[in-house]
């Protein structure tokens, strides 16, 4: 497949079928059960209806496609084992001896191991879609050529189409290969515009030293190759793996008319990519050349974090070298968060609108934030962070609950551990406020303590993935100076870190002064 042929395929993607989604929702609502009682299972099936174009889902034939590939960056000591383990696992997949095979058997699901580019000789019993015998070490140069990236995507598309023609209606994809959490973390860091340190995990259990080598290798690879976040194929070819390319292509299984195949993509990638991914860039589209025009996303600039900053080709910002580089941030045009479920001829991308509302005490910030929520349609959630210490607090909380209920808010208590919050359906969430949450996480024995800022930011990312809109209220800090001693200074610094990080990712940042909103980023809608 050539890049021109790939782009021609992309032109045929249509938006998700909202009529089918509505029909599926109506079906669930008509059953004798509490509304939304099955939680995210219902919304996932509604997504499947929208993506396949029919509320009548057929998931009778299922297959797990395991895409196997080796990664040259393993030479940098980013993993606990060598590439020989990739081959050993592939052999066990072929003999149905792995944990995935056991789980698939229980779920009456077939397993198809695929060689996208393993080192060494082909493995008997493993389907060959081999591009090359592993990628190159991306700290020395590009992991693969652009043509090889397109070829890998083409192989994935052809494979997924073949499975759909064979009657499979649910395709689960995954990847296997030593070093793949390094490549996926690198790709995700660039496309999502996130610090490398935040996007990189321990993989199969790296030590602190091993994790430091892994982060260092990714940072060096980014600085060496200067991938363009506006061009996902460029990012994929310079930092990715053949397995990632195949996973991206799996979204295409039902590209042609009449197909009713639904795909769910799960990629490990350290912390990099959880449920469905492949973000990107382009004018108004998340996945310019990989997924096309049916996607929507919000875009904004960033100042980056850490010692090294990389602005990307479109940002007008270069990078500076020298010193250590524990984290790398990315500039204008990045896509911050994308959750994707794709199948049939449809693709649906959720890119929530993020708004940060700041202000001093009694500034009117809470009232203004609430007014933004009241302009939206769909479910409304009020995430309350106040801890109840006594009867007076309890009475105050109950009073506010009743006031919010009259405005069709569903109150969710979350004084700690924001990442544990699960919303029953996508809608608009108002978090009130970061000041309380930071204090709770910092000082409560059950909180995150010194890791309060990091824990809150992880929680905000988790929450954003569940929302159409996320509006966050916070207190402005250090406006009266920065000379605060002891715990006060520690608390204000933690809150400032959260404010700064969320503001960089937000679509809109507004400060309320005497009830008057002043926008520093974005515009009032």
Q: What is the pLDDT of residues 180-223, one digit of tens each?
A: 999 999 999 999 888 888 889 998 889 989 999 999 999 999 99
pLDDT value at residue 8: 84
Q: How far is CA 358 from CA 235, 430, 511, in A?
A: 35, 13, 5
Q: 173 and 247 in contact (C-beta within 8 Å)? A: yes
Q: 68 and 194 in contact (C-beta within 8 Å)? A: no
What confidence category does residue 389 fall into, taking pLDDT thresholds of 50, 70 and 90?
confident
pLDDT value at residue 48: 85
Whether 171 shows a pLDDT value over 50: the answer reads: yes
Average the pLDDT over 93-113 and give the result: 93
Whether 337 shows a pLDDT value over 50: the answer reads: no
Is-same-fold flag (62-302+336-350; 353-521)?
yes
What confidence category does residue 249 fall into, taking pLDDT thresholds of 50, 70 and 90?
confident
pLDDT value at residue 251: 60
Question: What is the C-alpha radius of gyration for the chain, rounded to an integer number of angstroms?
Answer: 24
Whether 327 shows a pLDDT value over 70: the answer reads: no
pLDDT value at residue 218: 94
- The closest alpha carbon to 177, from 111, 235, 133, belongs to 133
Structure tokens at 468: 């159409």
Provide, rounded to the nearest whole percent, the portion of the chain with pLDDT above 70: 80
Q: 386 and 415 in contact (C-beta within 8 Å)? A: yes
Average the pLDDT over 117-136 and give the result: 94
Q: How far apart are CA 521 and CA 8, in angstroms?
A: 36
Please state, rounded to an integer, the average pLDDT across all residues of the chain.
Answer: 79
Whether 317 shows a pLDDT value over 50: the answer reads: no
Q: What is the DSSP letter of 123?
A: P
Q: What is the pLDDT of residues 475-517, one digit of tens each?
A: 998 876 666 767 888 899 999 999 999 998 898 999 999 999 9
What confidence category does residue 367 fall into, taking pLDDT thresholds of 50, 70 and 90?
very high
pLDDT value at residue 284: 29
Superfamily of domain 353-521: P-loop containing nucleotide triphosphate hydrolases (3.40.50.300)
- The closest alpha carbon to 494, from 458, 433, 449, 444, belongs to 449
pLDDT value at residue 351: 52
**Residue 264, H or E segment:** strand 262-265
Structural domain boundaries in the chain: 62-302+336-350, 353-521
What confidence category does residue 290 fall into, taking pLDDT thresholds of 50, 70 and 90?
very low
Q: What is the pLDDT of residues 27-82, one digit of tens each?
A: 988 888 888 888 888 888 888 888 888 888 888 899 999 999 999 999 999 998 99
Q: Look at the block and give the residue holding tokens 């192989």.
A: 155
What would be the CATH architecture of the domain defined by 62-302+336-350? 3-Layer(aba) Sandwich (3.40)
Structure tokens at 464: 């954003």
How many beta carbons lie within 10 A of that of residue 173, not counting itself? Answer: 28
- The closest alpha carbon to 324, from 186, 426, 215, belongs to 215
Q: How far apart are CA 273 and CA 377, in angstroms?
A: 29
**More confident call, 265 vs 293:** 265
Structure tokens at 309: 């900053």
């Amino acid at each position: 497949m050539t890049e021109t042929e790939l782009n021609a395929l992309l032109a045929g993607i249509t938006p998700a079928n909202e009529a089918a989604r509505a029909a599926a929702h109506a079906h669930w609502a008509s059953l004798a059960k509490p509304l939304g009682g099955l939680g995210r299972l219902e919304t996932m099936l509604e997504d499947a209806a929208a993506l396949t174009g029919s509320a009548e889902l057929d998931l009778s034939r299922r297959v797990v496609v395991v895409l196997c590939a080796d990664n040259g960056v393993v030479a940098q000591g980013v993993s606990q084992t060598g590439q020989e383990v990739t081959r050993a696992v592939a052999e066990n997949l072929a003999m149905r001896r792995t944990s995935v095979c056991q789980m698939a058997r229980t779920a009456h699901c077939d397993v198809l191991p695929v060689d996208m580019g393993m080192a060494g000789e082909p493995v008997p019993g493993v389907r060959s879609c081999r591009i090359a015998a592993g990628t190159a070490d991306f700290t020395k140069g590009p992991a693969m050529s652009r043509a090889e990236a397109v070829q890998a995507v083409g192989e994935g598309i052809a494979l997924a189409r073949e499975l759909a023609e064979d009657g499979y209606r649910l395709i689960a994809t995954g990847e296997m290969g030593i070093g793949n959490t390094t490549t996926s973390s690198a790709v995700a860091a660039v496309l999502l515009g996130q610090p490398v340190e935040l996007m990189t995990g321990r993989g199969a259990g790296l030590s602190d030293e091993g994790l430091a080598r892994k982060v260092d290798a990714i940072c060096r690879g980014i600085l060496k190759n200067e991938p363009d976040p506006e061009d996902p194929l460029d990012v994929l070819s310079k930092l990715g793996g053949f397995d990632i390319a195949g996973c991206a292509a799996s979204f295409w299984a039902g590209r042609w008319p009449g197909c009713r195949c639904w795909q769910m993509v799960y990629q490990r990638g350290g912390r990099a990519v959880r449920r469905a991914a492949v973000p990107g860039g382009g004018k108004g589209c998340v996945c310019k050349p990989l997924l096309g025009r049916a996607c929507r996303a919000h875009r904004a600039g960033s100042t980056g974090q850490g010692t090294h900053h990389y602005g990307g080709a479109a940002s007008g910002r270069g990078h500076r070298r020298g010193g250590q580089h524990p984290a790398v941030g990315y500039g204008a045009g990045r896509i911050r968060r994308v959750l994707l479920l794709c199948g049939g001829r449809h693709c649906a991308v959720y890119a929530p609108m993020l708004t940060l509302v700041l202000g001093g005490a009694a500034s009117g910030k809470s009232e203004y934030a609430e007014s933004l929520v009241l302009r939206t349609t769909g479910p409304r959630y009020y995430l309350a962070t106040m801890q109840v210490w006594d009867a007076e607090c309890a009475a105050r909380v109950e009073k506010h609950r009743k006031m919010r209920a009259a405005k069709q808010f569903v109150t969710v208590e979350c004084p700690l551990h924001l990442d544990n919050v699960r919303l029953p359906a996508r809608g608009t969430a108002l978090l009130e406020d970061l000041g309380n949450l930071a204090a709770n996480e910092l000082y409560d024995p059950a909180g995150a303590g010194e890791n309060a800022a990091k824990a809150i930011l992880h929680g905000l990312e988790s929450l954003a993935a569940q929302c159409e809109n996320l509006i966050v209220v916070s207190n402005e800090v250090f406006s009266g100076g920065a000379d605060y001693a002891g715990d006060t200074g520690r608390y204000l610094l933690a809150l400032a870190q959260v404010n700064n990080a969320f503001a960089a990712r937000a679509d809109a940042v507004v400060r309320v002064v005497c009830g008057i909103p002043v926008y520093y980023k974005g515009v009032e809608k």
